[in-house]
Amino acid sequence: MFDELNNKEVANGNSELERKIISRASELDVPATISKEEALRRLKLRIENSSTPKTVALNPRTKMRWIYSAAASILVLLGVWSTFSYFGTTNVVAPKGQQTEYRLPDGSMVSINAESKISFRKSSFNKNRFLKLEGEAFFRVKKGSGFVVRTRFADIRVLGTSFNIHAREKSFKVSCVTGKVQVKNAGDAVILTPGESAVSKNNRLQEFTDKNITTVSNWRIGQFYFESAPLIDVFKEIERQFNVTFTLPEIENKFYTGDFSNRDLVNVLDVVCIPMGLDYEIGTNSKIQVRNKSD
């Protein structure tokens, strides 16, 4: 990607380099909240105001890497979500406290939960329909050739369907809402039909009829449901939805059944903490101290 900027082109002057910078930057997707022209203006201003000493000569490859990094950083700061291309890979990121909807090149739609990311090669996506997921997302896949979602736990393969994938830390679950889904890891492969889910335990896939299938993707409308879930996982979800940080007591052996909405932090803390015998104190810098009531 950077080979086009060789030493000869750099020697031709700053105007040629600037033209290439703007050309590369214009390929980046920007949030709907600002115009592409404004994003480019801010990018150019940042480059001009760079603290890099003018006496230090950066080689062309290093310069372009720095430019792409700066552009990606700006888009993350300016939008609810961001997409940026780096070495041919498009990344769509939903940071803490935010969710996003994204249309893939084939027309399939992805709802991306907070602190989650999908990655794919835009140039070849319509041909192979392959992407990677870190976190949680809900997919509505257009009918067509095979469609594969890779997570660190397993590959999920579909034709035309809708399904939810939760792949965080040690937790993995795939839920089929419509169509059929194949879930495959190194040792197992299962086929899910509507109303079924699969989880991974000790690297083995276990499928089951999911009585909560209608609620698995309600996080898209800000509703979260838990049934005998580790309390630590509940607090992690609150951190993602509200972009806060908890200091917690020993709760490893506590489990929570209930639901909450991501509309009001205080209400969520009351709903979770009161029945679990916990007190909380909201401090500065989005830090929350949680204690046992007996402490």
Q: Are residues 11 and 73 in the same domain?
A: yes
Last residue of a domain, one of 216, 234, 267: 216
d(CA 234, CA 259): 10
Q: What is the mean pLDDT of residues 199-225?
A: 94
Among residues 54, 87, 120, which one ends one of the domains? 87
Asked whether residue 142 falls in the same domain as residue 197, the answer is yes
Domain with residue 258: its CATH number is 3.55.50.30
75 & 113 share domain? no
Domain enclosing residue 242, as ranges: 222-292
Task: Indicate whether 53 and 144 sit together in one domain.
Answer: no
Could you tell me which of 290, 294, 243, 253 has the C-alpha nearest to residue 269?
290
Rounded to two decimals, what is the model's pTM? 0.71
Same domain, 20 and 47: yes
| Confidence label for 67 from pLDDT (cuts 50, 70 and 90) | low
Model confidence at 88, pLDDT cuts 50, 70, 90, reads: confident
The answer on 178 and 98 residing in a single domain is: yes
- Measure the CA–CA gap between 46 and 71, rounded to whole angstroms: 9
Shared domain check, 272 and 186: no
pLDDT at residue 51, rounded to an integer: 46
Q: What is the pLDDT of residue 33?
A: 45
Q: How far apart are CA 152 and CA 169, in angstroms?
A: 9
pLDDT tens, position by position, 101-112:
999 999 999 999
Say if CB 206 and CB 187 are below 8 A apart: no
Span 185-200, average pLDDT: 94
For 118-165, the pLDDT digits (tens) are 999 999 999 999 999 999 999 999 998 899 999 999 999 997 899 999
* Among candidate residues 150, 184, 216, the one where a domain is terminated: 216
Average pLDDT over residues 40-64: 52
The beta strand positions in the chain, using DSSP E, are: 82-86, 89-94, 100-103, 109-112, 116-120, 130-140, 147-150, 155-158, 162-168, 171-178, 181-184, 189-192, 196-201, 204-209, 223-230, 245-247, 255-261, 278-282, 287-292
Same domain, 181 and 210: yes
Q: Per the structure, how many domains does the chain have?
A: 3
Higher pLDDT, 52 or 240: 240
Question: Does 210 lie in the same domain as 98?
Answer: yes
Residue 114, SS3 per DSSP: coil
150 and 211 in a common domain: yes
Instruction: Choose the most confident range, by mean pLDDT, from 47-61, 72-86, 200-214.
Output: 200-214
Task: Name the more confident of 25 and 275.
Answer: 275
Q: Where are the alpha helices (DSSP H) in 81-210?
A: 125-128
Residue indicated by tokens 């249309």: 103
pLDDT in tens, 264-293: 999 999 999 999 999 999 999 999 999 998
If 0-12 CB within 10 Å is exposed, 13-18 middle and 19+ buried, where does residue 172 land? buried
Q: Under a CB-based contact definition with an 8 Å cutoff, are residues 92 and 45 in contact?
A: no
121 and 193 in one domain?
A: yes
Same domain assignment for residues 194 and 232: no
